[in-house]
């Protein structure tokens, strides 16, 4: 059986965070020396740190929160697609790609280099017109190797809204630089944080042999 590949950004004090947002911090609040039995730590950070999912509530006051989302889109057959040769990713670009009709999750390897400790100044452009295209293909989740599906300075978040309007879940900041294109099994489960706008995830994939999973996943 193929080994799982970790495509999530490791959380550490060095990991980049959104400008103005809360950086990641882990601290030991009680040591074995103090408790005589265990180490106990805590974390303080933004929910949008590292590899994470966005719930619709992040960009819509009436959108679903993390705890209201189905877990099904975060588990199952996924395809890694290389779009690193363009700075504009639209429906026409994706239409030129080929993937199985049963694949409901798409992971885009863009031209952005995976550098977890540096927040990028500029991102490749994801055109909102990818949303109806992906929906027509039966896609339920879009993952990107960028901190956002919209530009860092965007206020209308057009691509976030378009994806949500077409029933497509959002996974951001996956690490795909060293991942070959092809089909995989994906697990990228969010924490069940009630009322939350986002959640960090541990995203992992493993290569699929043809016919390795049923079409319903």
Quote the distance between the C-alpha of residue 40 and its chain's center.
29
Question: What is the C-alpha separation between 126 and 150, in angstroms, rounded?
Answer: 7
Known catalytic residue: 58? yes
For residue 187, what are the CA distances in angstroms to 4, 44, 171?
10, 25, 11
For the chain, how big is the Rg over CA atoms in Å?
Answer: 18
DSSP 158-192: HHHHHHHHTT-EEEE----TTPPSEEEEEE-PBP-
The alpha helices in 26-180, defined as continuous H runs, are 32-35, 91-95, 130-136, 158-165
Beta bridge pairs of residue 125: 88
Quote the distance between the C-alpha of residue 24 and its chain's center.
18
Among residues 48, 52, 58, 160, which one is catalytic? 58
Yes or no: say if 52 and 74 are a contact pair by the CB < 8 Å rule. no
Catalytic residues: 58
């Amino acid at each position: 059986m193929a080994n799982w590949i970790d495509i999530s950004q490791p959380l550490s004090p060095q990991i980049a965070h959104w400008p103005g947002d809360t950086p990641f911090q882990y601290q030991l609040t009680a040591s074995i020396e103090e408790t005589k039995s265990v180490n106990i730590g805590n974390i303080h950070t933004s929910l949008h740190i590292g590899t994470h999912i966005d719930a619709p509530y992040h960009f819509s006051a009436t959108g679903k929160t993390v705890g209201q989302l189905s877990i099904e889109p975060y588990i199952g057959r996924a395809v890694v697609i290389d779009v690193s040769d363009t700075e504009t990713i639209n429906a026409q670009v994706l239409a030129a790609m080929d993937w199985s009709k049963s694949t409901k999750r798409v992971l885009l390897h863009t031209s952005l280099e995976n550098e977890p400790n540096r927040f990028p100044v500029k991102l490749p452009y994801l055109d909102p017109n990818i949303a109806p295209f992906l929906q027509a293909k039966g896609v339920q989740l879009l993952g990107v190797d960028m901190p956002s599906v919209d530009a860092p300075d965007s206020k209308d978040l057009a691509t976030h809204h378009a994806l949500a309007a077409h029933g497509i879940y959002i996974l951001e900041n996956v690490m795909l630089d060293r991942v070959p294109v092809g089909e995989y099994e994906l697990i990228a489960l969010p924490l069940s944080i009630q009322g939350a706008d986002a959640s960090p995830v541990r995203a992992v994939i493993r290569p699929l042999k043809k016919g390795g999973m049923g079409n319903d996943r």
